[in-house]
Amino acid sequence: MEAVFLLFTYIRGQLEDRHTIFNMSNFNPRLIFLIGFMGAGKSHVGKLLSEEMKLPFFDLDEYIEGKADKTILSIFQEEGEEAFRILERKCLRDFAVIGNAVIAIGGGTPCYFDNAEWMNEHGVTIYLKASPELLAKRLASGKDHRPLIAGLSTESLLDFISGKLKERSEFYESASVVVDQENGEKDVVEEIFRNFTNITGH
């Protein structure tokens, strides 16, 4: 009950911010999950996509932070990664009750428990693919609030990303749609939209 209340408070905030119009009643599947490594542009592209599709946008990390009332960094530091992954799994499932929406999820979300399967059952997953070099470039300046890379030097960042990306690729690549987003954000949204139309037939 508390989870549902929190989710609706969060949704109301998002809708007030964006004046989003729900006008896609025949739209199936209901949820569009943006997946990919940290720095892949999930939130940014997700917002652009949601505007294009007139759908509400949600960010799983933001929702987790609201629910835990602390930052992702504090959750990792105070409770550990395992506790974070359990909370992440639970928060992801809270989205089962909302209508059509675009959701940016965390970089690790599809790689734990049966999260990837769950997302594919409840909507479509779109993998925003990017090279380790591009990710390292983007992440170099904003590492400090990301627990997995906060302590890394700029030099070791690329090695870390390359290794982790190898471990996670099979989960990312199992997405309904894989979009290489090296060609600029606007093209990415167009490519997602084209692919999405192919999948849903709408």
Q: List residues binding ligand S3P (CB under 6 A).
A: 38, 42, 61, 72, 106-108, 146-148
Cα-based distances in Å from 24 to 16, 29, 31: 19, 11, 12
Distance in Å, CB of 61 to ligand S3P, minimum = 5
Q: How far is the CB of 150 from ligand S3P (least distance, A)?
A: 9
Per the structure block, which two tokens stand in for 85? 């992954």
Q: What letter would DSSP give residue 144? A: G
**Cβ nearer to ligand S3P, comparing 93 with 194:** 93
Least separation in angstroms between residue 121's CB and ligand S3P is: 21
The Cα 107–Cα 35 span in angstroms is 7
Q: How many CB atoms lie within 10 A of CB 48?
A: 19
Alpha-carbon separation of residue 173 from 7, 21, 86, 130 (angstroms): 29, 31, 23, 12
Strand-strand pairing, 57-59 and 123-129 = unpaired
Q: Which residue is listed with tokens 């139309």?
A: 197
CB of 72 to ligand S3P, least distance (A): 5
Minimum distance from residue 148 beta carbon to ligand S3P (Å): 5
Select 80 or 99, whichever has its Cβ closest to ligand S3P. 80
Q: Which of residues 30 and 85 has its CB atom nearest to ligand S3P in the complex?
A: 85
* Shorter beta-carbon distance to ligand S3P: residue 38 or 189: 38
How many angstroms separate the CA atoms of 193 and 128, rounded? Answer: 13
What's the closest the beta carbon of residue 179 comes to ligand S3P, in angstroms?
16
Q: Which is nearer to ligand S3P, 27 or 162 (CB)?
A: 162
**Which residue spans within the chain are E strands per DSSP?**
31-35, 57-59, 101-104, 123-129, 177-180
- Give the residue with the Cβ less far from ligand S3P, 74 or 154: 74
Token reading at 100? 């059509």
